[in-house]
Structure 1
Amino acid sequence: MANKRAVRGATINAESRRFNLPQIEADGDWLDERTAIDGASPTLRTTVTAEAARTIISRNSSPDIGFDRSINPYRGCEHGCIYCFARPSHAYLDLSPGLDFESRLFAKPNAAELLRVELAKKGYVVRPIAFGTNTDPYQPIESDWRITRACIAVLAEHDHPLTITTKSDRVTQDIDLLAPMAAKGLAAVCLSITSLDPRIAMTLEPRAPAPARRLAAVRKLSDAGIPTYVSIAPVIPAITDHELEHLIERAAAAGARAAFFIPVRLPHEVAPLFRAWLDTHFPERAGKVMAVIRELRGGRDNDPDFHSRMRGQGPWAELLRTRFQIACRKHGLTGERLTVRCDLFRPPKGAQGELF
């Protein structure tokens, strides 16, 4: 495996499915021509486009996940995790799930305003709102845009429950909002940690905070009284699966209340992107990795079926579950469910009255 730090996660900018535009044209940026001018490698810069969202709460009826609504303040994610199941969503913008997904981002600056209006609607029924279900709410641009924080502030004001999943220790910057909510049973946080090996992390999740920083965030959140969990997702056969027990040990030592894991998923355009990443960073084991993934996924690169897609199937899946359960028992992570209460919600007095 190459030791040089990856600048981006995807190694290619693969074609996407077309939903809106007949083609994508080059923007003519002079940096695109830099290689021809002076022989330097072209610089892929991150761009952020403000999007005037019309609604902010997304709803789902999947039987595989424990929430029915979520907020995604951003489209695309600069963390660049090669396995990210959200990559195909960029195809709806007629952009590539490859490099476009991690460099051409969209922010929703009116998210908090829309959220307040939606909470005030007649007949609104409170359920926990999940952050981080598609793209990371604490990716680097949150430091400038602070859209996630603005949404949390609205929920805190009205005692509305929330859960957060993130790979970033930036979540600790919002402890001042989250700790009082947690004291009321309204907030819980899940840190996603896939590997403790810096060399693997730097290619697998090139712009996400280092694993040690995420573990430190687990400790800091736990010490602040915020129920904190660790998600080992995904587990990648022959790349990260050997770390499963050590990850659980470190999560418990950092104060996590429980841990979860999901075998790697490769929906739609993620599969060819992941294969290209394997060929670049792990060519000596690429065949073995994909062979095990197909065993986990019923002979396919990906299993899209409800109930089995999050668990995997066959001997490999059963082995991972057994190892996970034994390690959790050994380190005292007894499987406490991530729960928040819904009985304290106070709706806004009126959408317009609360805005000014």
Structure 2
Amino acid sequence: MRIRRKFTLLTAALAASLPAVAVAPGAAHAAAAVVVRLPIPVAVGADVVAAGDREFISGGYGTSQIAVADAAGAIVATIDGLPGPTDLALSNDRRTLFVALPAANAIAAFDTGSLAETARYDTGAEGGCPAHLAPAGRYLWFGYGCTPGTGDIGHVDLRRQPARTTLGLAGATYFYDAPAVASALRNPGVLLAGETGSSPAEIHSFTVAGGRLTEVSSTRELGSNLGDLALDPAGSTAFTASGAPYHFPSVPAGDLNAPGLNYQAQPYPVAVEVSREGGKLAGGINGIYEPDVYFYTIGNPAPLATYEVGQGYHLLNGALAWAPNGRRAYAVSTDRDYEPSTTAELHVIPAPAA
């Protein structure tokens, strides 16, 4: 791994060239966003997480880089030489960046300050292709599975020295592919997992005790083609983004079939994220003519404001993150007209006032 400082490799599109921010009637206006051309091609998918003074954007399965941006979106470094970095996650203290490396059957850990790699956890052939990450307390949970019918959940026990990886923790719960997983910031006793790409999508909630999972609820009623999952910081409410229906459902995490609140959106939801303090929600869609990012106050299903990533571009599945202070959101889009995409952009979007 090598780190190269990048200050002049990309341009920021500002002022008149920026996508417009659309606002729901009666809502507060959001300030202009900053759009940054990323120095990495995105092959299959990418993710973004925000540590406060830095953002990290992964290139995807067919790339080798993570771009590092400052809080305003300017690229300040890249982390190179990684075998297909995909899903990203931050420790609760935001000092450690975890990176899924499905091409290497491994998960890497980096210091978010120095950008040095501090650990690499081998998941082995049986735990191959770790694709989704969810840190919770002492455990780093991951969904894995290289071939259809082999999806499962494992974890890395970060308090063991050396750290220990345990596989096959989904038990009797079946996953066709590597499941998406989500944890709660202030409640390590809850884990959410979902089947990606299936129709309808099957979502499961678990309690965690002693590093083991006990399923408490499951549903196939929240949508099809799951793009993203989220939990509020307390672990009491689950949020999903699926290709259909065209809203962001929220339901009790302990009973996924109970009535909930649907946050209004457009086709086709692909990302959902709760702010760190738990009072705000951001959702993203893969829209053609509709705005792509939606902002809400938790408890109010009508959007406060919306944001368009640009005609010909689309938001990546799950590639949406809140700044820790809740004042900005970060989104990653790619060029819709080329496969694989050759252009990725980071959008730094000021959050509207509640």
**Bigger relative CO (Cα 8 Å, ≥ 6 apart):** 1
Larger radius of gyration: 1
TM-score (norm 2): 0.27
Q: In proportion to residue count, which structure has more strand? A: 2
TM-score (norm 1): 0.27
Q: In proportion to residue count, which structure has more helix? A: 1
